[in-house]
């Protein structure tokens, strides 16, 4: 997202509408990182304690030199919360809520087009303004669990 906003390929906004097809939730290995806030939201939504959420639905991964929690995948690589739909949609993690407006997708129109090869919701539906798009991209949380441990978070 370097350069003046008016020079960026999304200066006049980008269209996106999630068709809830599940392509990005299923069928291939990947990571859905969780912030402390994401865990709290899922715990409240499922009416379970945070420890249970972490133990039942997450795995520890080492990436970018830090320890993170990522949602568990089933043997076929479907997200643990996928069951013909996202079963925690209202409380889905920020990574899911901010898709497709991730920094790496906004580097160029070419990258954006690449996302569209996998996601049928790209370039259709709601027009998001450049300012909204950048707010999504900037909102990524700190995912290092060592931050959790250093707070009063109830980490197992």
- Positions touching ligand SF4 (CB under 6 A) are 18-25, 32, 71, 79, 81-82, 86, 88, 92-93, 96, 99, 119-121
Nearer to ligand SF4, 68 or 93 (CB): 93
Shortest Å distance, C-beta 128 to ligand SF4: 13
Backbone angles phi, psi at 70, to 5 degrees: -130, 150
What is the smallest separation between the CB atom of 65 and ligand SF4, expressed in angstroms? Answer: 24
Query: What values do phi and psi take at 52, rounded to 5?
Result: -65, -40
Minimum CB–partner distance for residue 101 and ligand SF4 (Å):
11
Closest to ligand SF4 by CB, 72 vs 150, is 72
Using only C-alpha atoms, the chain has a radius of gyration, in whole angstroms, of 16
Alpha-carbon distance of 70 to 57, in angstroms, equals 8
CB 92 within 8 A of CB 86: yes
Rank residues 18 and 43 by Cβ distance to ligand SF4 and give the closer one. Answer: 18
Q: C-beta of 154: minimal distance to ligand SF4 in Å? A: 21
Residues sharing a CB contact under 8 Å with residue 99, sequence separation 6 or more, in sequence order: 24, 119
């Amino acid at each position: 997202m370097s350069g003046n906003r008016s020079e960026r390929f999304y200066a006049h906004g980008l269209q996106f509408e999630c068709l809830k097809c599940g392509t990005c939730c299923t069928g291939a290995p990947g990571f859905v990182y969780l912030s402390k806030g994401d865990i709290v939201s899922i715990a409240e939504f499922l009416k379970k304690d945070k420890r249970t959420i972490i133990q039942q639905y997450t795995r520890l991964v080492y990436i970018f030199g830090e320890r993170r929690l990522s949602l568990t995948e089933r043997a076929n690589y479907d997200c643990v919360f996928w069951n013909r739909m996202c079963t925690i949609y209202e409380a889905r993690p920020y990574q899911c809520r901010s898709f497709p407006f991730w920094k790496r997708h906004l580097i160029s129109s070419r990258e954006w087009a690449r996302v569209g090869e996998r996601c049928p919701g790209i370039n259709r539906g709601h027009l998001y303004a450049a300012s909204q798009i950048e707010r999504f991209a900037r909102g990524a949380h700190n995912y290092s669990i060592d931050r959790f441990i250093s707070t009063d978070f109830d980490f197992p």
